[in-house]
Amino acid sequence: MRKTLYLHIGHFKTGTTAIQEFLDLNPRLLKRHDFVLAQTTLQYSKHSDLAYSLYKAAGVETFLHGYNKPETPQQIWAALFDELRTSKHSRMIVSSEEFMRLACIPKAVKTLSRIIKSARDIDFKVIAFLRPPDSHLRSWYNQLIKMGMKTPPYNVAMTDLVEPIHYDYALALRPWIEIFGAEAVTLRSYSEASRENNLLFKDFLSAIDVALPKFGLVLAKADPNPRLDDTLLEMVRMLQNAGIPDKMVQPMATRFLAHLASEEAGNPTGAGDAFAALRQRTLDGLTELQREIPEFDATLAPFHQHLPEQETQTTREGWLVAGHLLAELQALRKKTQQQNRVVTERLDALEARLPTDDGDPS
């Protein structure tokens, strides 16, 4: 009986961690459909060692997250193939978003190609999720900051920091198409709506010809990979880049949320409409004045191009950050003054106990 190995390769930020936990939590569902989740290299519900071994053998030193196992990729993949061959199930799944980096490492592509050619008794299927590029890049930027990486502003990060697989999807999938053939590759689309009503799991199961059951699912109790609140994103990035210790970043970010809430209390919903009304009233006043004193029309007409403008979101965010930093400085100042008072009082008490010039305590 021929066996089939399904390779779920990501992409990053497409609910991969949620899918991995779902598969790990529902072995009965898989077995009912002649599937099993591979145990070889399984750690934290994923199989990233299969990718890391390829990259390490290719001389890669970054993005390995501490991986330093001595086995060669040939040994690790051979163990996976043997697990599938001896399994009583005909279909097996492995999953890791780290597979998506393969296209950036040509030597690893060649190694994987040779490994796959050595397993002629096994059929392969590749499953990839992609999300709209703009959404993907914004989410990846969020992830970089959440991981504590020193990250430049968005525009620079996208052009100078991130790997091209994050925006060149043809590049990202090219080695998988070349090694396994286009007919072996299945694509699914991911969006924020995919996380609602188990749609993500339904889409994944449909890629392996399994229907999502209405009952009997075991689901994770919380999002396994929550994104950093976008409101805090730039604040956290700047704190990290300023060298603020990790243990202090979150408390400062939390205080920023409180500061933001206080500021937003004075910026009620509908403020934009109110400002639009202000602009219209300004224009109406100019028009009326021109009718009443037409001899000044040449003076007033240029004013039509200079109506009041709302503060831009970027400017507002800048002032919010500045206000928060001033509040942090004031809090630090108060704390320092309090500590100085305590130290001064202790020094005064000690001096009071010192002998005077005549040898007696004062």
Domain ranges of the chain: 3-226, 233-267+311-353
pLDDT at res. 337: 86
Task: State the architecture of 3-226 in CATH terms.
Answer: 3-Layer(aba) Sandwich (3.40)
pLDDT at res. 149: 85
pLDDT at res. 326: 60
pLDDT at res. 254: 77
pTM: 0.75
Asked if residue 47 has a cis previous peptide bond (ω within 30° of 0), the answer is no
pLDDT at res. 9: 98
pLDDT at res. 179: 97
pLDDT, one tens digit per residue, over 285-339 is 889 888 988 888 888 899 899 888 775 666 556 656 666 666 676 777 788 888 8
pLDDT at res. 312: 61
pLDDT at res. 268: 58
pLDDT at res. 232: 74
pLDDT at res. 357: 66
Q: What are the residue ranges in the chain where pLDDT is below 70?
A: 260, 263-272, 311-327, 329, 356-362
